Amino acid sequence: MKLKRAKAYRKLMHQYEIQFGFREAYQVLLDAEFLQDAWRFKIDPITRLEGVLQGKIKPMVTQCSIRHLYNAKPKNEALIEQAKTYERRRCNHHGLENPLTSLECLSEVVGPTNKHRYIVASQDQEVRKHMRAIAGLPLVYISKSVVLLEPMNTQTAEQRSALERSKFRLGLKGQRNPDAGQKRKRADDEGANGGSIEDSAGDAKPQKKKKHKGPKQPNPLSMKKPSKAPPKDESSKPKAADHREPRPSTTDASEPSAPDGETGHRKRKRKHKPKGEGASSVDAEAAAS
């Protein structure tokens, strides 16, 4: 049950942090009755309050509460010395002949809105009843040697719900830029009137050039640079003809040689003699016969 209660207190304080801006170290106002009951139950108020509120605290005591401890019967000197170690909250009631009650003193210190984000630790039921009407005010009390944190009161819950509904209506975009809707409406009104206010005043700013949307070129820094081969000296380049052995030719000397790289025998082409040469050779043969 203790772990379940601690989890509920952690969630409750998280809601106070989000909605009302509570931050560590929490400022806790301790009245005289709370300190007396903690002493009677042998409770260390600082350690117990830090466990309940799930964070560091700054204990504070008003001047009226210190005077209540001095006027208590029987007077507890050890408790008074312990209360003096806490931070003194000036309530400006020290000039009065008699100290104010815890209800009157704490009501003036906290105020109607609790703008300083106090946490009130009190055993007085009238004090807690009055403080429940103030939104965003956590209340702590002791019940049978157990320090308890009251659940969120009605005023706080209603204000938290109203804030959540307003955020839901604004939406994420409106929450980041609340003036976005007003600017859009103003721009629409200007377009309907046929011109903007700046154009009518003669102080219009040049419109920004729209960026072209399309496929982007690759990053030149991420591209691999082309490798350039070093120039080779032609004199040092070996010739292919030097490494091949001469092949015996089977063709006629007058026949054109086959180009390099071709294999097999080439077909011979018949040479035709000119007509004049053929006639003279026939007459020579006839004369000889």
- Domain of 151, CATH number, reads 3.40.50.1010
Separation CA 103–CA 130 (nearest Å): 8
CB contact set of 70 (below 8 Å; sequence gap of 6+): 80
Output the pLDDT for position 213.
75
Residue 272 covered by a domain: no
**C-beta separation of 78 from 119 below 8 A:** no
Residue 14 covered by a domain: yes
User: Looking at the whole model, is its pTM more than 0.75?
Assistant: no
Backbone angles phi, psi at 255, to 5 degrees: -75, 135
Backbone angles phi, psi at 60, to 5 degrees: -135, 140
**C-beta separation of 86 from 121 below 8 A:** no
pLDDT band at 70; cut points 50, 70, 90: very high
pLDDT band at 210; cut points 50, 70, 90: confident
Range of the structural domain that residue 100 is part of: 1-156
Residue 141 covered by a domain: yes
Mean pLDDT check: name the lowest of 46-55, 81-90, 176-185. 176-185
196 burial class (0-12, 13-18, 19+ CB within 10 angstroms)? middle
Choose the most confident range, by mean pLDDT, from 11-20, 24-33, 162-171.
24-33
Residue 90 covered by a domain: yes
Output the pLDDT for position 197.
45
First and final C-alpha spacing in the chain = 147
Separation CA 75–CA 82 (nearest Å): 13
Output the pLDDT for position 110.
93
- Strand, helix or coil for residue 76: coil
Q: For the residues 22-46, what does the mean pLDDT come to?
A: 94
CB contact set of 43 (below 8 Å; sequence gap of 6+): 142, 145, 147
* Alpha-carbon distance values, 129 to 62, 134, 142, 153, 274 (Å): 20, 10, 15, 10, 140
Residue 90: what residue type?
A: R
Residue 73 covered by a domain: yes
> Would the pLDDT of 251 be above 60?
no
> Would the pLDDT of 136 be above 50?
yes
Please name the residue that has the structure tokens 């008074």.
80
For the record, the structure tokens of 193 come out as 């009137």
Residue 137 covered by a domain: yes
Residue 288 covered by a domain: no
Output the pLDDT for position 153.
75
Backbone angles phi, psi at 161, to 5 degrees: -65, -40
Separation CA 187–CA 121 (nearest Å): 54
Mean pLDDT check: name the lowest of 28-32, 68-72, 197-201, 268-272. 197-201
> Would the pLDDT of 196 be above 50?
no
Looking at the 3D structure of the chain, how many domains does it have? 1
Question: What would the DSSP string read from start to end of 154-186?
Answer: HHHHHHHHHHHHHHHHHHHHHHH-TTHHHHHHH
> Would the pLDDT of 151 be above 60?
yes
Residue 211 covered by a domain: no
